[in-house]
Amino acid sequence: MEETIYVRLRHRIQARPNETVLIGDIAEVIGSDDTVGGKIEKIPIYHLTIKDKTIVVLDIVRVIKMIKAFNSNLDIQVIGPSQTIVEIVFSRRKFTLGFLVLIWFLLFIGAGLTIMNFHEDVSMQEVHQRIFTLITGRFEARPLLLQIPYSIGLGLGMILFFNHLFKKRLNEEPSPLEVEMFNYQQDLDHYLIMNENKESMKKLDDH
Amino acid sequence: MIISIIFAIFVGFAGGIAVGAGFVAFLSVLGVIPRLTQITKTKKYIRSIEWAVIFGSVAGGWFSLQDTIFHFSPYWLIPIGLACGTFVGMVAGALTEVLNVIPILAKRIGIDNKLLILLMAIVLGKITGSLFHWIFYVE
């Protein structure tokens, strides 16, 4: 009798260099009883070598091939993604404090410079002088009463947009930055799936 | 005479339509208004928020073109300045985000978990840069 097993690949896993990846690492296998699924999950599917660099994409056909070799009478049902991205994590790059301080100041000075350029570009000084005259009827060459709250508001607006102060209190929706990070990661993954996956390409071997 | 008046009205109206449509399109691309309604949970009042943008633009255009002068206390400038700054800050934040600067930067240097610190660098940099500009740079 043919037995049905269900295979669901994980989207993305992390592995150590020179590790042997088992089917159980990249997929969840459910059989009619636990023993079949458990045995299949123990099958090694890929041995990571130094040549693999940092990313390997394992395709579902590879998993099916392995399971068929284990027992060809199984009926395999695939659910979920059809490939897994294996990210090879080398010993964690130490994140030094000096590096962080450097980048911090880079962004700090850069952000300050861009806002100054922006103010010059749109003649913000004149606009502020105009607003000052509009409200009070007097001319003021340096309307600091308007400009200091303006500068504070500038930071407030950015924080508000990225929703970091009110994150816990106001809602649980992700901030635009988190969504953007997610989208960027999705694009990268999509690229990897198409370009690193040996199963999805067929080239002429005539060189 | 009549022709030139009609033509002037027509040109002014056309220019206004182009600028107004462009402004609203820019705001829509940046997604500042959806973001505000998301934070404050006022999605169902979106119509009145749209009207705030329209009235704001018309009032700003009218007052600046007419050289209107109110004789209010200068302390009104504090909330006005704060509102101006917050709006510009949100637009600046949205612009950085549309350009995808931070995700790429964080990914490249592998500091996804220290994002908040980098964000604070940009925010504090904007505040300091702006204060420096008004207090020391402009003479």
Domain boundaries, chain A: 3-88, 97-195
B42 vs A: CB within 8 A: no
Report pLDDT for B84: 93
User: B106 near B112, Cβ under 8 Å?
Assistant: yes
Question: 1.10.3660.10, 1.10.10.60, 2.60.480.10, 3.30.70.100: which CATH number matches A3-88?
Answer: 2.60.480.10
Mean pLDDT along residues B33-39: 82
Q: Which residue of B lies nearest to A126 if distances are taken between CA atoms?
A: B138
What pTM does this model have?
Answer: 0.72
- Please report, rounded to a whole number, the percentage of residues in chain A having pLDDT higher than 70: 86
Mean pLDDT along residues A125-142: 89
Report pLDDT for B6: 94
CB-count exposure of residue A195 (10 Å: 0-12, 13-18, 19+)? exposed
Q: What is the ipTM of this complex?
A: 0.83
Identity of the amino acid at B9: I
3-class state of residue A58 by DSSP: strand
How far, in Å, are A160, B92, B94 from residue A167 at the CA level?
10, 20, 17
d(CA B135, CA A119) in angstroms, rounded, equals: 13
Interface of B with A in 43-102 (CB under 8 A): 63-64, 68-94, 97, 100, 102
Mutate to test the interface with B, among A161, A169, A177 (most CBs of B within 10 A): A161
Mean pLDDT along residues A190-196: 83
Report pLDDT for A202: 67
Mean pLDDT along residues A79-88: 85
The DSSP secondary structure of chain B, one letter per residue, reads -HHHHHHHHHHHHHHHHHHHHHHHHHHHHHTHHHHHHHHHT-GGGHHHHHHHHHHHHHHHHHHHHHT------GGGHHHHHHHHHHHHHHHHHHHHHHTTHHHHHHHHTT-GGGHHHHHHHHHHHHHHHHHHIIIII--
Indicate the pLDDT class of residue A154, thresholds 50, 70 and 90. Answer: very high
- Between these two residues, B78 and A188, which has the higher pLDDT value? B78
pLDDT at A53 exceeding the cut of 80:
no
